[in-house]
Amino acid sequence: MEGRIAAIRADRDGTGRTLTRVEARKLAGDWYEWFTARHAEATEEDIDWRRDIVREALTATVGDEEFERLRGDVWDQEDVREAVRPVLADVGEMAQFLALKQITLTHDARNLFLDFMYDDLAAALKRLLRLSEGDYSPDKYAERFPKAIEGTDSGVTPWQLFEKWIAERKPADGTVESWRYVFQELRRASEERSAASVAPEEAAAWIKGLVSPKRSAGTVKKTWLNAANTVFRWALEHKLIASNPFADVKVTVPRKKKLRARVPSGGSPAILRAASAIIDTREPTDAAKRWVPWLCAYSGARPGEMTQLRGMDVVVQDGIHALRITPDAGTVKGGAARTTP
């Protein structure tokens, strides 16, 4: 009762402790350990009773049929969360837990904590059910909780991680340009918070939210997730963060429908015929249109690798004229120099 009264007063007065997402996740993890220890001797009837109360609150909000249809996605609806949070707080004994911790939360922090508790309560009840059946095997679910917040945060933001990664790894200009958009968006999404405060659930939600009619799941996986995971993994190796929140994030890429059989386009001959049709090469652009396609055809190189060639890159090796394709001239696939006749 004291915990409830303190929460009501804090909500009324605008006082109480705010929480970042990682702090809320840590607090929910502490609650999970407290709740499972507190009810370690719970009977199957007590466990079912708590589960039924939450289910009844959910079905009372969306209806039985909609609940069965949505299942794991039911908590994604704001009206559902708003209606069920008080029930969740009662079943999870949130007030007692916060009173023992001597913590008073703001309204928003309490909601954030309860949103994490929704999944954790289901896992806690499953854990208690296993204990009631004599299964005392290690609890794998608890491994996901942050074990410590203090001392693991360098204060570096995701954007600063990206800048540090560029300075050390010196990636190709194309990679920097492509990934810059990723970290600009992440900077806006994280509101300039530290990279260490980005929780795995937050990272997964951000990546999932990137998929749209204009941005395919394949693009999100290949570019956005790859960029974030690579830079955060590098930061973890250099001890700038305690964990990589993108490590276990998955993006499901649907298989593309094949509406017709694939047939040869004949694109290469068409391009070379068009190149050969250019006679006047006095202008540099016209000269490039005339010769670059043929250079690519004979060397297997890319247009960018051909257009950045310098005079010194035309060499004679073993009596054979050749092109030296090198990172000294610009971006090269794989970053390695090669010589092609």
Q: What is the pLDDT of residues 304-338, one digit of tens each?
A: 888 999 999 999 989 999 999 988 888 787 778 88
Q: Kindly state whether residue 242 falls inside one of the protein's structural domains.
A: no
- In this structure, are 12 and 123 located in the same domain? yes
Residue 209 within any structural domain of the chain? yes
Last residue of a domain, one of 90, 112, 144: 144
Residue 245 lies in a domain: no
Domain edge (last residue) among 114, 144, 174: 144
**CA–CA gap between residue 133 and residue 140 (Å, rounded):** 17
User: Quick one: which H or E segment has residue 339?
Assistant: strand 338-340
Residue type, 221: K
**Together in a domain, 40 and 67:** yes
* Same domain membership, residue 166 and residue 94: no
State how many domains the chain has.
3
Give the domain-ending residue among 111, 144, 177.
144
Same domain (yes/no): 125, 10? yes
Report pTM.
0.43
My answer on whether 11 and 117 are in the same domain is yes
Helix (H) or strand (E) holding 338: strand 338-340
| CB-CB neighbours of 213 under 10 Å | 5
Shared-domain flag, residues 271 and 205: no
Same domain? For 127 and 7 the reply is yes
DSSP designation for 77? S
Alpha-carbon distance 184 to 224, whole Å?
11
- Tell me what pLDDT residue 149 has: 46
One domain for residues 44 and 89? yes
Largest Cα separation within the chain, whole Å, is 92
End-to-end CA distance of the chain: 83
Q: What pLDDT does residue 150 have?
A: 46
- For residue 100, is it within any domain? yes
Looking at residue 220, its pLDDT comes to: 92
Residue 123 lies in a domain: yes
Ordered alpha helix ranges (H), the chain: 2-13, 21-38, 44-62, 64-70, 78-91, 94-101, 107-132, 158-169, 173-190, 200-210, 217-219, 226-237, 267-276, 284-299, 303-307
Q: Which residues, other chains included, contact 135 with Cβ-Cβ below 8 Å and sequence gap of 6+?
A: none
- Asked if residue 251 is part of any domain, the answer here is no
In a domain, 44, yes or no: yes
Range(s) of the domain holding residue 15 = 2-144
- Residue ranges of the chain with pLDDT lower than 70? 1-16, 67, 70-72, 74, 102, 147-155, 191-192, 256-266
User: 262 lies in a domain?
Assistant: no
Same structural domain for residues 110 and 81? yes
Residues 133 and 202 in one domain: no
Residues 45 and 139 in one domain: yes
205 bridge partner residues: none
Q: Are residues 46 and 115 in the same domain?
A: yes
